[in-house]
Amino acid sequence: MSRTLALESVSKRFGRGPRVLDGLTLSLEAGSTLALLGQSGSGKSTLLRIVAGLEEPDAGRVSLGETVVNAPRSRIPAHLRRVGLVFQDLELWPHRTTAENIAFGLPGRPRGRAALEHPRVRALAQRLGIEGVLSRRPESLSGGERQRAALARTLAPEPDVLLLDEPLASLDARRRADLISFLAAVNRDGGPTTLLVTHDPGEALALGERVAVLSAGRIAEVGPGQSLYAHPRTLAAAQALGPANLVPATREAQGWRTPLGLLAAARHDDTTARVVLVRPEELVLEPTGSAGVEARVRASWPRTSDFGVELDVEGQALEARSLTAPEVGQVLRVSVRGPVVGLAPSAVEGLESGAGGASQVEGNAA
């Protein structure tokens, strides 16, 4: 069974510090999966602990289904919420075997051979590829094996709501792909309502039916991941979902006038914008004599399947992609593939050219 999850005007402050969460509102339909994307220290883990009942909000309501679980006079404790949380640091019991850890939330908390042979333990271990380590203790497991054991332990009692804190951490590329496939299958099979938090945009896009961006303690934007990536309304979402070139722009009847030339406008962008968003893969690099504007190569670096390139266009640094590595100092022509989206003025407040703002390359990483 899965239940809806709703947070309404939730706030949290630790000591006299700033609010970690500031009137946050968010909702998940029963059985859905939402990825919460935000920088380290943005309050993502605190939000999970509040939903799980391990922390109390200073204000606001947390509802599971029709029940407000943090009501002052009828608060539901963590162990009765049917919420499963996979901690970022996993927190496996060191004195128990992997099988006993997985069985911890099952009736009677089976130990020894009873845990090792329990059908639910065996089934989850097989699906997650850890059936060969069930008799071993956590200290002897790899990071990826511990991660999968912690997930199996959380899923064993079949929670209504599943909370995942950086679920793909400690996994190599193959295991990441396996776990993405496993979590997708869990949700297809009518699994729990799932809220996962991450700072990795690739992880959010791979696992979330919807993606929410947490910024300054609030939800800046929420929606289908690919839509947010291509057409964000806020600076926070534009930058959280990947490298973002923020290019000064003026709206004209035919489109956006920018240092990259006159660019076609996206259908749902903001016509009062001062900057447009251009993703690195939307920049097309060609030899001199081609269409586009002149650009000089400042740097290039290898990536998994291509090269990242930093360009200078009229003094502005832009990040692009190339199948081959151009030479530093090489002059190319650059044009833009497809329409671009303008970010609302309120979304780019404080981005002034004198402060580095719109001419800055965002997310220069391989």
Q: Which pairs from 250-257 meet CB under 8 Å and 24+ separation?
A: 251/342, 255/339, 256/340, 256/342
Q: Is residue 354's pLDDT more than 80?
A: no
Residue 323 has pLDDT above 90, yes or no: yes
Read off the tokens for 70: 């943090």
Pair 36, 221: CB distance under 8 Å = no
SS3 161: strand
- 15 Cβ partners below 8 Å, 6+ apart? none
Q: Which whole number is the average pLDDT over 220-247?
A: 93
Measure the CA–CA gap between 172 and 182, rounded to whole angstroms: 15
Q: To 10 degrees, the CA torsion angle through 173, 177, 180, 186?
A: -140
Across residues 120-128, what is the average pLDDT? 94
pLDDT at 244: 93
Mean pLDDT of 11-38: 93
Confidence of residue 312 (pLDDT cuts 50, 70, 90): very high
**What is residue 203's predicted lDDT score, i.e. its pLDDT?**
87
Report which of residues 41 and 28 the model is more confident about: 28
Q: Comparing 5-226 with 243-362, is the CATH topology the same?
A: no
Question: How many residues appear in the chain?
Answer: 366
3-state secondary structure of 52: helix
pTM to 2 decimal places: 0.85
For residue 349, the model assigns a pLDDT of: 55
For 54-85, how does the pLDDT look when each residue is reduced to its tens digit (9 = 90+)?
A: 999 999 999 999 999 999 888 999 999 999 99
> Tens of pLDDT along 281-294?
999 999 887 889 99
Cα–Cα distances in Å, from 326 out to 46, 211, 311, 322, 340?
Answer: 44, 35, 10, 8, 25
Contact (Cβ atoms closer than 8 angstroms) between residue 217 and residue 210? no
- Residue 347's pLDDT is 64
Instruction: Answer yes or no: is pLDDT of 39 > 90.
Output: no
Pick the CATH number of 243-362 from 3.30.420.40, 3.30.9.10, 2.40.50.140, 2.30.40.10: 2.40.50.140
Q: What mean pLDDT comes out for the span 301-323?
A: 96
Judged by average pLDDT, the poorest of 43-57, 168-182, 309-323, 328-342 is: 168-182
| Percent of the chain with pLDDT strictly greater than 70 | 94
Q: Write down the architecture of domain 5-226 according to CATH.
A: 3-Layer(aba) Sandwich (3.40)
Question: What is the mean predicted confidence (pLDDT) over 227-235?
Answer: 91
Question: How does residue 364 score in pLDDT terms, banded at 50, 70 and 90?
Answer: very low
pLDDT beyond 50 at 359: no
The domain spans of the chain are 5-226, 243-362
pLDDT of the residue at 356: 34
Q: How far apart are CA 15 and CA 274, in angstroms?
A: 39
The residue with greater pLDDT, 42 or 7, is 7
pLDDT at 56: 95
Q: Summarize the confidence of residues 225-235 as an average pLDDT.
A: 91
pLDDT in tens, 152-201: 999 999 999 999 998 887 678 888 888 888 888 887 777 899 999 988 89
pLDDT digits (tens, 9 = 90+) for 255-290: 999 999 999 998 877 788 899 999 999 999 998 878
3-state secondary structure at position 304: coil
* pLDDT surpassing 70 at residue 361: no
CB 140 within 8 A of CB 101: no
Residue 185 CB contacts under 8 Å (≥ 6 apart), including other chains = none
Within 10 Å of residue 66's Cβ, how many Cβ atoms? 7
Structure tokens at 67: 């029940």
CA atoms within 13 A on the CB side of 304: 1
What does pLDDT average to over the chain?
89
pLDDT at 182: 83
Q: What pLDDT was estimated at residue 301?
A: 97
Residues near 97 by Cβ (< 8 Å), separated by ≥ 6? 115, 116, 134, 135, 136, 137
Q: Is the pLDDT of residue 237 over 70?
A: yes
